[in-house]
Structure 1
């Protein structure tokens, strides 16, 4: 797999005091970031490293007609042994996790006999030779004598490649755990949980995690996918989603309090995209991941209304928005305020104590909260958003609230959303749009005319319709314009982020993956080139080009922390093009600049079969205070010039 390395130059204390050259304007220092939504099986079965599917037996027909509590589980009995299983709800581990399995082992015939369950995971489990896996289960003994349990990982041929044992020995729920170490590789293993002695027991939250998660976190993330996101050096991460946040009806809204605490106490529910979410990847894990990779957290909460497309009403024009009753609004507003305390409050506060109990006594330094997502700007929405916004502003003026301007770059909801924002003084507004690449080329001056005296923009979701090099080029051209307007566009994030092979509901996406591997799109590489090379001041007039050529774009930013001048160039045309670059205003220029270049035929794509068709190249380019640079056709280039030793 490819790892692209970018050059970073660290300033000394003395050089960090160097004066900023004249002519620059302050822009957002976290302009480019990531948007994570649990779509395309991005969380369970994806970034979240849990290997057991339906671990808590909470799948049900309301999610999919064919689903039930034993979906992805199989009852097995070996060696002429026999017993029975059932699903119970009368004495659960926790009220939030009502279903569990009762296993009654009536007869074990001989030493080879066993009765139990087998889980197939998310299309099988990828097991690596020599790696260790943490198994855990909540068990309750329902008979007098302890029940011995054998654990097995088996490959597709039925060969056992890892084993472990447990003894369920106590009445009442207790967490049992052990470690399974693999003796061989397997691309599609299954996990068996087998009672090998007679008795009766209850089981719930059957879990298998690789010990090698991202930064070895418990309840952690799949390391290769998480590292891909870390490698982008994003300025922020928006989560847990777009439409996922306000949900399919009021009962399906994403409520952050349901996703913290021990996993056996979290509330699982149907995903608006047609599958199941365990909430194992919850608010604590999102915030922790942001901290692990140095990104600002940007949680998005519902504006007390559900998605206007609830109940599939997108097919008939989107009339399914429902609003929380007014008599529930005080409690809901408190829920929003409690999030700030949970994230930023001292460990001695009510909600800060819950964060500390999860292993993070220090605050998370939350700065942004999004309220609403692509909502239809109805009177019900307007009233509830206003109530939430005013409450947050009054209680926590240090928090920047991000509003919503609907799902399109113009139209009724866009106009109404911005009108409301201007009336209330909302500091940042979330705009969304997915368009053809030609739209991004022709609209690259969109934000040049925005009013700098009103709210700023968060471009929360955008992408051109496709994953070819042509799409990535159009996005690169547009991103240079976002940098040029980084004084009014405070943040921007491509969407969606992740898509699992065979389970993709939305295209385009940035990263495609399966259980074993992944491939990166040209769009990913363009995003990485910009995200990993951000500045905090923009300088106009550095790049001289033909202004009538809409397929040729460039930007120049300065990173005051590193002292680097960062030049980005994009040629979306079919001919080589020359630009003149003048960085003489930066008094000290070191000639050996780092160069990252992405070049390919406009129709080129990556795939699982050919993941390296389009990939960046890195090197060194000699620069001077004034120099010419020729861009080959269909090319994106980043030149990073050091001004400090």
Structure 2
């Protein structure tokens, strides 16, 4: 893959000669692309980002909070001590267990569980949390540690042990990056919140580190302390409280996406009671109960709806939301038609929280939480992948869409079945079509939307990826897959009068340990220390960055089977963006100009860099296009 700039063009028709490397020939095939001087339809800001909490992309990913299992949510300490204590351990002779305080002064009804720490008389020990399989220690960062603590109800002492917080190495026992005493009045039998700012004296070379709360007994008897909602937050993107991990935010921002799709099977749950409730994810963290997410791990909901909306706004993206459609997973059991209406008000309230005026109760709540202005949302999905219960979607859509279209006449609603599955009424404004397949599939389906009706619903493709090869899922996106996706994406641009938005999926994956991830490949891989942008990332970035406002018709008189292309132009008519894809295999370099390409096999995984074609003032130019290549040409008007 390569990004190329730039050429000059003086207006009118433009002829581009390309020598195309072809696997079936030792010679280069020359083709000519003729670009019209008359733009066709306007082109939307097609490219965006899809998010659902899979692969620890929320907790342990975008959410900057570093500690796993911070409030012992969901797990039952009475039946699953090991699960309730996940990521926690005790050192120094103190005793640790998880306890359910539901009937015994819990921190909140939402967070009834806590650590019960027993410190032997006169002893010092600590409880450790190893984070999401590791913690990055950076001496340039100031971390904010917070936790709630109190003495047990039956404690004999009146004032509890001395407290300190630490960052320590697990690789090298005894290595202490920082320790700071917690300055507080007497620790008594009422919950107190403690907050400490800490800055390490040195950085760690790896992530095998832990956060610790140290307890020093000041009593002649054992002391019992309850601790919960323990957070460790490094500097965040735009310094937002409870904000987003900076390097992941910067990688997301660099995609140049125009929208953030929030949904996926994140919202569905395994039953109506287990689904995602928007109003359980807002407000103080100690009032958020969390849930078992659809990918098998606890979602703390620290990265709640308001945090997501604020992050979307910080990225200057439009928000595409999703309301629950009455379908739960496992085994895809829908709500009966007789019961669906009771979920309509919940959907209305969620939408009003996002875009409603402050005269509505949810809009007023949004204002009280610090954001009086509505967020930017023009499209909203009803459900996610409802083709799993397409027959029931007909009545679920009818009830929900009818009510929501009446309540929000300016908002457009997206159906989530296949357009051919079942007839829907009222007619959807758009359909969201998902596909995961092989590189060969995408190469063969670049013209899928050429014959889509121009006077009906629009199309979104908010999940797609070349994620199989020979029946297997590669762990990382490959160059072959990325190039095939690029070929497919030229069809989106050509048909952007009906295709309104597309997104690769999934976007994020925590690769620190194998148990952190559930799906491969992904756009952005990360661990506690680093972020890796995969080949498909650079295709998505390239297509979003080099995009005009109007589609520019073009043609190749005799098109070789390995080439796809797309041309767009700015509304002012001063710049053309031409993307050309050569999917020819096997890979081999065939460059005659100074240009950097991905010089590796089709299974390689490395980024492109910019190259240049010498500037010239002409309506013709030529260039050699290697096999397995994607190029973007920026052609300003002379």
TM range (shorter): 0.7 to 0.9
1:326-405 aligned at under 5 Å gives the runs 329-347=340-358, 349-375=360-386, 376-405=388-417
* 8 A contact 1:137–1:207 mirrored in 2: yes
1:26-175 aligned at under 5 Å gives the runs 26-58=41-73, 60=75, 67-78=82-93, 85-89=97-101, 90=103, 91-107=105-121, 109=122, 113-142=123-152, 144-156=158-170, 157-158=172-173, 159-166=175-182, 167=184, 169=187, 171-175=189-193
Which moved further from structure 2: 367-376 or 249-258?
249-258
CA separation of 1:562/1:39 partners in 2, compared to 1, >3 Å: closer, same or farther? Answer: farther
Shift of residue 277, structure 1, vs aligned partner: 1.0
Question: 2:631 matched to 1:637?
Answer: yes
Partner of 2:454: 452
Partner of 1:520: 533
Higher RCO structure (Cα 8 Å, ≥6 apart): 2
* 8 A contact 1:100–1:203 mirrored in 2: yes
Shift of residue 333, structure 1, vs aligned partner: 1.0
Distance 1:367 1:440 in 2: 29
CA separation of 1:196/1:229 partners in 2, compared to 1, >3 Å: closer, same or farther? Answer: same
Q: Which of 472, 478, 483 is the aligned partner of 2:493?
A: 483
Partner of 2:470: none
Distance 1:196 1:445 in 2: 69
Shift of residue 604, structure 1, vs aligned partner: 3.9
Distance 2:278 2:143 in 1: 29
Shift of residue 596, structure 1, vs aligned partner: 9.3
* 8 A contact 2:54–2:509 mirrored in 1: yes
Partner of 1:440: 442
Distance 1:327 1:95 in 2: 32
Question: 2:246 matched to 1:201?
Answer: no
TM-score normalised by the chain length of structure 2: 0.84
* 8 A contact 1:596–1:639 mirrored in 2: no
Question: 2:503 matched to 1:493?
Answer: yes
Partner of 2:620: 627
Shift of residue 283, structure 1, vs aligned partner: 1.0
* 8 A contact 1:442–1:550 mirrored in 2: no
Long gaps (5+) in structure 1: 8-20, 311-319, 407-413, 579-594, 607-612
Q: Would you say how many aligned residue pairs link Structure 1 and Structure 2?
A: 573
3-state DSSP class of the match of 2:333?
coil
Partner of 1:416: 421
Deviations 1:489-518 (Å, cap 9, x if unpaired)? 111111111122123321221112111112
3-state DSSP class of the match of 2:150?
strand
* 8 A contact 1:75–1:85 mirrored in 2: no
1:207-606 aligned at under 5 Å gives the runs 207-210=231-234, 212-240=235-263, 242-307=264-329, 310=330, 320-324=331-335, 329-347=340-358, 349-375=360-386, 376-406=388-418, 415-417=420-422, 419-420=423-424, 423-465=425-467, 466=474, 467-501=477-511, 502=514, 503-541=516-554, 544=556, 546-547=558-559, 549-560=560-571, 563-574=574-585, 598-606=597-605
Distance 2:599 2:572 in 1: 33
* 8 A contact 1:32–1:534 mirrored in 2: no
CA separation of 1:485/1:265 partners in 2, compared to 1, >3 Å: closer, same or farther? Answer: same
* 8 A contact 1:477–1:551 mirrored in 2: no
CA separation of 1:130/1:537 partners in 2, compared to 1, >3 Å: closer, same or farther? Answer: closer
Shift of residue 265, structure 1, vs aligned partner: 1.0
3-state DSSP class of the match of 1:290?
helix
Distance 2:637 2:191 in 1: 62
Partner of 1:18: none
Distance 2:366 2:614 in 1: 48
Partner of 1:314: none
Distance 1:596 1:359 in 2: 49
Long gaps (5+) in structure 2: 7-35, 468-473
* 8 A contact 1:246–1:301 mirrored in 2: no
CA separation of 1:576/1:179 partners in 2, compared to 1, >3 Å: closer, same or farther? Answer: closer
CA RMSD of aligned residues (A): 2.8
Question: 2:201 matched to 1:179?
Answer: no
Distance 2:37 2:621 in 1: 22
Distance 1:596 1:247 in 2: 49
Distance 1:577 1:302 in 2: 51
Deviations 1:190-232 (Å, cap 9, x if unpaired)? 111122244443321100010x211121111111111111001
CA separation of 1:6/1:148 partners in 2, compared to 1, >3 Å: closer, same or farther? Answer: farther
3-state DSSP class of the match of 1:531?
helix
3-state DSSP class of the match of 1:354?
helix
Distance 1:484 1:58 in 2: 48
Distance 1:98 1:255 in 2: 19
* 8 A contact 2:43–2:551 mirrored in 1: no
